[in-house]
Amino acid sequence: MDLALIARDLEERQAMSVGLLALLALIPLAATSTRGWQRRLGKRWRTLHRLIYVAVPLSVWHYLWLERDIITLPLVYAAVVGGLLALRLPALRHALRRLILGRR
């Protein structure tokens, strides 16, 4: 737990800084994922858990920067994450639903 070494590593390797940001975004999500916390926080729980939209892209970005030689797998993860996040857009979801179910 050499803080000077940790600080130097964060300065020198940008992937570590991005990974640390992702981790910091995930900690409150992990701490408040139980039903008890959902009840205590009420509607604020859902707002807090929107941090996932920050944490997941940061995690993929971190992985992309870590892999220097073979970036195929990080690019696959980036495509999957991008696709899943795009599906959260109401317009795209509605268009996809119409395409799959027909014009209902």
pLDDT in tens, 50-90: 999 999 999 999 988 887 777 888 889 889 999 998 888 88
What amino acid occupies position 38? Q
Please report, rounded to a whole number, the percentage of residues in the chain having pLDDT higher than 70: 98
pLDDT of the residue at 43: 93
Mean pLDDT value across the chain:
89
- Residue 99 CB neighbours (<10 A): 9
Q: Looking at the predicted structure, is the pLDDT value of residue 12 above 90?
A: no
Q: Looking at the predicted structure, is the pLDDT value of residue 35 above 90?
A: yes
Q: Who has greater pLDDT, 44 or 6? A: 44
